[in-house]
Structure 1
Amino acid sequence: MEKQTRNVFGIIHIGTVNMTLKVIAYSSLDDMEIIENVSREVKYGETVFQRHHVSFQSLNEICQVLLGFRQLLCDYDVKDVRVLSTTVISEADNLISVLDQIHIRTGFDVEVIHMTKEIYYKFFGLYYNVLKGKFNFADKAVMLLDITSGGVGLTCWKSDRLLFQQNIHIGSLRILENFTEKQRDELTFPTAVREYIYGTLYPLWKGVQQYDIKYIVLSGRGANLVARLMGKTSENGLFLITPDELRQFVYSFHGVTPFKLMKRFGLSQNLANVIMPTILLYYELLRIVDIDMLVVMPTTFTEGYTMYYVAEKTHNDYMAHVQGLLLDMMRRLAKKYLSDSIHSARIEEYCNVLFQALYQFIGLDYSYNYLLHLAAIFHETGKFINIRKHNLCTYNLIRETDLFGLADDEKEILAAVLYYAFDGTLQEASPVYHSLTPRQKVITAKLTAIFRLADSLDKSHLGKISAIRAELREDEIVVHYTADADISLERWTYLKMAVDFAEVFGISTKLVKG
């Protein structure tokens, strides 16, 4: 059999403790090879995090490392490169200037990944390994505890079903910024940190306890380092830690501090400052949840992003599998707002039929079909809060809710589509439309036009139309429907929405029985 041609791309991560470069050759998710892996420990992390500002010195450090990475990429003749930054730069008050200076001085465009998306990429890679049988969880409830410098992600699943996902701004460095250098030297510091963690996460405990979680999965460099510090050895790339082993490790310090970690294990101060709150977060969770085992998996953020990138490039079925998990969880979330799930399911189907017929001809990536699914799921949730202002309530609800796997710019598009889902003109005089970027405005207009057309087909909420199919002709999309009942309301609403649809896409549409 002829071997598949491999593509090559580079990924650079501007992290809090390290900056890393990987060069990866791939042909599929199961055929990826790291051909270069370089990591540089950096000093700017905690300073930038505390001040929320990237100083001239910190920017110099970042650019010097990036220039070294650029030379390596040139040596490998890598043209496809992704440069990613997570918490440490994303919250800087001079973010725009920093990104501009990095581009001018290194030629790299940096993509800023916010916490929700960062945790999602890691889950994406880790869950693929779970499905491949990396560890047998025996259909028990499992929770991924993902700790970054700026936040904590709790993602729980059981038997290939997501149970819940929650993100909290209480990461390792975010914990430390609440204490001065002098306070960190006090004997009571470890107790104060533990109490701070408990008090901040208190609202989550009952929600976590109801799922009878038996395994906690830890991932990334921090978790792997903690396992090695405990003297654990890897089994098939995994570290297995019992709750008692972790408790005894914490007790052995008589109060874990960065200084004690530095003294016992020779860690740098920067690394010790990250690891100390991480250990206490693990410990605090074990006081709340009665589990059988901690499973440390090696999946890092860069590995998760790489797997997502390759899956998207190669159109791997795993993409659809994860989206199915997410949509199922979103439907359960929408039920909390008493939304009409049967009506929403119809609109999901209609949106999908219309998008499938249109997407290759209207300048939208296929991935935007996912936003239409979400729009169908959440489009009436605002009615639970205030039926008179439901579009505004839905808009605010979406903007203020963490939707797992959705980047902030995608969430802004979704919220805008839902704001205009039923009526309203997309124009600069509207604050919602005005707040969008030019690219977001174009995408919002197209998705809104499709959604309005789909929603009109069940305007009565009575499900009178049992099925539709759509065909795109030269300058017209014809929607064929099956129905036994009178659909006058749906037909008249469809004709009204067809006017806006034609203006947005430059093609007309008609509704035909049969």
Structure 2
Amino acid sequence: MAVQLFAAIDVGSFELELGIYEISGKNGVRRVDHIRHMIALGKETYSEGKISYDLVEEMCQVLEDFVKTMNGYKVKGYRAYATSAMREAKNNQIILDQIRVRTGLKVRIISNSEQRFISYKAIASKAAEFNKIIQKGTAIVDVGFGSAQISLFDKDALVTTQNLSLGSLRIRELLARIPASAKAHREQIEELVDNELFTFRKMYLKDREITNLIGIGENILYMMRQMQSKPVGDKVEASVLNTFYEKFNKLTLDQVEERFGVNAEYASLLMPTVMVYKRILELTGAQMFWIPGIRLCDGIAAEYADDTRLVRFTHSFENDILAASRNMAKRYKCHASHSQVLEEYALGIFDCMRKYHGLGGRERLLLQISAILHSCGKFISMRNSNECSYNIIMSTEIIGLSHLEREIIANVVRYNIRDFDYDKVQLEGTYQEGTVELDQKGMTILIAKLTAILRLANSMDRSHRGKLADCRMSIREGELVITTGYEGDIALEAMSFEQKADFFEEIYGIRPVLRQKRRI
């Protein structure tokens, strides 16, 4: 199979990175070149709320050089992603336009959950080691410049992922406003970290045993080089990290610069990083730390290889998204058996209507998650559950989903039990449906299509007793015929089904019909 050259660009909080990769079915994803340029975009975003023109000018110049390098390699494809610094900057849309005009690059701002999921794909590309480690309780820890992410695995299943405001640059900028000695600042860092981790421990680590930590990100690579003489990618015992911390804690800023070979700007970020990893290690009680040596650019390349089917991954990432959604439903006491039946009905209708809705696998996944989470708002209010469900979904990260995809799911769930208002569905950004980019009207129609299916599927289990579990679906003469052999009373289902049929027909032009076969 031919080798394809691909470029990945990371517009990060503290640096710009370019990775050039060879991708092939035989050898997988292999990095052939890597360029970094330090630029503290996050410093201004986290303190001022926007990025200055001087930094935009520097950024565009560096990205122009990246484009020249990409042209020199004759790459066939590229993806350029921006993370938290750009995401939180008030003037980010102006900056993206400047980059497009100056360099020709189309940079996409990705959500935090997308960013972490991309890095997670890079870890999973090391299939043998990754699959072995996550058989036991495992946490993936990514301490970045803007935030830290902790993702918990248990027996190959993703339990939860949570984002904490513990990025090294964010912590440093916060403490810069407090005049204090270096020792006092270290104590303040510890207080900040412990405050964030206290809630995480109480909610997610109760009765959960964590044996392994997987550390990713640029900061952990610097730490690894100093912790032991073995090459990056090896495992580190918890005792080694503890010893390293004790030694690091005694170093001055100048000594950190000299020992790590970094400038003063970067050296000042290492202390918050070391502190966060140290406290997470103590909190979880993990005995082993695996540092696979990957960056976000590696994840972008792995994502591209997976999306284009250039490389086949053995790990199912879609199952991770579903596992995270089901754990979220469990947290909010959703009716598990009803949700499972609803999933089956909704996916059955989706598959039967494939010729008429024109949607793909990604939209099928969004529908499935909508079915899983459709009643989570009842945890807060039985009477106003749809609005509460909307707010819960919009406030909760689901790893692997973009902010816009969460917004689509939240709206589908909201309109499941209220009149659909075409004029009031408002979403931010544009959605990519296959090769087509949907505008506001297109996304409204997408939400309407998924809502019509979810409503109809929900009506089929009105009694929450799975009476239509044996049903068959087919399109006949302009009707979606759903036939069941259930011999008992389905009056509730039939009434609810008829109520939801009008909206379904309005969207698809296909009339749903429920038929009950009775044995003689």
Normalized against structure 2, the TM-score is what? 0.89
When the two structures are aligned, how many residues end up with a matched partner? 505
Counterpart in 2 of 1:70? 67
Question: Which of 133, 149, 168 is 1:137 aligned to?
Answer: 133
Closer, same or farther: CA 313–426 of 1 in aligned 2, 3 Å:
farther
Confirm or deny that 1:296 pairs with 2:278.
Answer: no
Counterpart in 2 of 1:412? 407
* Correspondence 1:185-334 to 2 at 5 A: 186-206=182-202, 207-208=204-205, 210-234=207-231, 238-255=233-250, 258-314=253-309, 318=313, 321-334=316-329
For structure 1, the 5+ residue unaligned runs are none
Cα shift readout 1:345-389 (whole Å, capped 9, x = no counterpart): 011011111222334542323111111111111111212211111
1:285 is displaced (CA, Å) by 2.1
**Letter of the aligned partner of 1:167 in structure 2?**
N
Distance in 2 between residues matched to 1:141 and 1:366, nearest whole Å: 30
**Letter of the aligned partner of 2:270 in structure 1?**
I
Contact 2:393–2:410 (Cα < 8 Å) also in 1 = yes
Question: Which of 80, 83, 86 is 1:86 aligned to?
Answer: 83
1:283 is displaced (CA, Å) by 1.5
**Letter of the aligned partner of 2:370 in structure 1?**
A
1:154 is displaced (CA, Å) by 1.1
* Correspondence 1:444-483 to 2 at 5 A: 444-472=447-475, 475-483=478-486
Counterpart in 2 of 1:425? 420
- Aligned sequence identity (%): 26
Closer, same or farther: CA 427–134 of 1 in aligned 2, 3 Å:
closer
Counterpart in 2 of 1:22? 19
1:108 is displaced (CA, Å) by 1.7
1:170 is displaced (CA, Å) by 1.8
Closer, same or farther: CA 257–349 of 1 in aligned 2, 3 Å:
farther
Closer, same or farther: CA 40–95 of 1 in aligned 2, 3 Å:
same
1:227 is displaced (CA, Å) by 0.6
Counterpart in 1 of 2:362? 367
Distance in 2 between residues matched to 1:30 and 1:470, nearest whole Å: 44
Cα shift readout 1:464-504 (whole Å, capped 9, x = no counterpart): 11233433468544434342223233233223322212222
* Correspondence 1:4-43 to 2 at 5 A: 4-28=1-25, 31-43=28-40
1:80 is displaced (CA, Å) by 2.7
Closer, same or farther: CA 283–138 of 1 in aligned 2, 3 Å:
closer
Contact 1:115–1:150 (Cα < 8 Å) also in 2 = no
Closer, same or farther: CA 359–39 of 1 in aligned 2, 3 Å:
farther
Counterpart in 1 of 2:393? 398
Contact 1:261–1:276 (Cα < 8 Å) also in 2 = no
Distance in 1 between residues matched to 2:485 and 2:25, nearest whole Å: 41
For structure 2, the 5+ residue unaligned runs are 429-439
Normalized against structure 1, the TM-score is what? 0.90
Distance in 2 between residues matched to 1:125 and 1:192, nearest whole Å: 34
Closer, same or farther: CA 44–394 of 1 in aligned 2, 3 Å:
closer
Cα shift readout 1:372-408 (whole Å, capped 9, x = no counterpart): 1111111112122111111111111111112222211
Closer, same or farther: CA 81–384 of 1 in aligned 2, 3 Å:
same
Counterpart secondary structure, 1:377: helix
Contact 1:466–1:482 (Cα < 8 Å) also in 2 = no
* Correspondence 1:37-116 to 2 at 5 A: 37-116=34-113
Contact 1:29–1:307 (Cα < 8 Å) also in 2 = no
**Letter of the aligned partner of 1:165 in structure 2?**
T
**Letter of the aligned partner of 2:194 in structure 1?**
Y
**Letter of the aligned partner of 1:34 in structure 2?**
R
**Letter of the aligned partner of 2:60 in structure 1?**
C
Closer, same or farther: CA 127–210 of 1 in aligned 2, 3 Å:
farther
**Letter of the aligned partner of 1:504 in structure 2?**
I
1:86 is displaced (CA, Å) by 0.7
Closer, same or farther: CA 254–138 of 1 in aligned 2, 3 Å:
closer
**Letter of the aligned partner of 2:305 in structure 1?**
V
Counterpart in 1 of 2:437? none
Cα shift readout 1:168-208 (whole Å, capped 9, x = no counterpart): 12211111121127736543222221222112322123433
Confirm or deny that 1:490 pairs with 2:487.
Answer: no
**Letter of the aligned partner of 2:226 in structure 1?**
L
Contact 2:389–2:410 (Cα < 8 Å) also in 1 = yes
1:121 is displaced (CA, Å) by 1.6
**Letter of the aligned partner of 2:290 in structure 1?**
V
Counterpart secondary structure, 1:417: helix
Counterpart secondary structure, 2:457: helix
Distance in 2 between residues matched to 1:360 and 1:54, nearest whole Å: 47
Closer, same or farther: CA 496–257 of 1 in aligned 2, 3 Å:
farther
Closer, same or farther: CA 313–481 of 1 in aligned 2, 3 Å:
farther
1:415 is displaced (CA, Å) by 0.7
